[in-house]
Structure 1
Amino acid sequence: MKLPSAAVAASLVCLIVAPVFAQTAAPSAAPGTVPVPAAKRVTCLATTASLKGQDKRDQMQLCMAQARIDCLKQAIDQKVVGETRKSFIKTCVGGDATEQH
């Protein structure tokens, strides 16, 4: 398993993608909430890039589950509720929040 190179790749992707997302104006989920860049999916893709087959699918699923948990924690901290929370998490993760790979 080439985990260190995957971590380096993920770091590079974050360094490249973060400024792009920072420049785009994301719609605010609710008054008082902080827009969150949708780079978590990109990070998961980068960290699993060196893996193949079932290992890649398993790691991608774990990474996306952790991303959803992180986004849920942000939504709770910002007191986002209801449909707005669902939309917030989807935007935060960077795609369909219920999608499994």
Structure 2
Amino acid sequence: MKLPSAAVAAGLACLIVAPVLAQTTPAPATSAATVPVPATRRVGCLATTQSLKGQDKRDQMQLCMAQARLDCLRQAIDQKVVGEARKSAIKACVGTDGAE
């Protein structure tokens, strides 16, 4: 049972990373505040769990969102975002207000 969930997590990671790597123009650095990112990670998690039902769907959604939060945290750390700005950046990156 671990192999399919690992494959889903690896596939999701590729879906999340590919658009980031495909960007060719750097983001403008005119503002110190972080710019909200569309909720693609949450939507991606919803899409990957769409075919599942019941507890399997809830479990996979939790795993997917945890991976998304981890990826967003790594991104915030790489960008050296700290404090309240980091919390806001992670919420914006994941695409949720934190209430799940």
1:27-63: CA deviations, max 9, x gaps?
x8x6286764321000000000000000000000000
Matches within 5 A, 1:1-101: 31=32, 36-97=37-98, 99=100
Label 1:72 to 1:98 Cα distance change in 2 as closer, same or farther (>3 A): farther
TM-score, L = length of structure 2: 0.64
Q: Are the aligned partners of 1:39 and 1:94 in contact in 2 as well (CA < 8 Å)?
A: yes
Check 1:47–1:68 CA distance in 2 against 1; reply closer, same or farther (3 A cut). Answer: same
Are 2:34 and 2:89, in contact at CA under 8 Å, matched by a contact in 1?
no
Q: Secondary structure at the match of 1:63?
A: helix
Identical counterparts, % of pairs? 71
TM-score, with normalisation over the residues of structure 1?
Answer: 0.63
Amino acid at match of 1:89: I
Letter in 2 for 1:44: C
Residue 75 of structure 1 deviates from its aligned partner by 0.2
Figure out how many residues of one structure are paired with residues of the other and give that number: 78
Over 3 Å counting, the alpha-carbon distance change for 1:78 and 1:98 in structure 2 is: farther
Q: Contact conserved, 1:33 with 1:78, CA < 8 A, in 2?
A: no
DSSP 3-state at the match of 2:62: helix
Runs of 4+ in 1 over 2 A off after TM superposition: 30-38, 96-99
- In 1, the alpha carbon distance for the partners of 2:93 and 2:99 equals 12
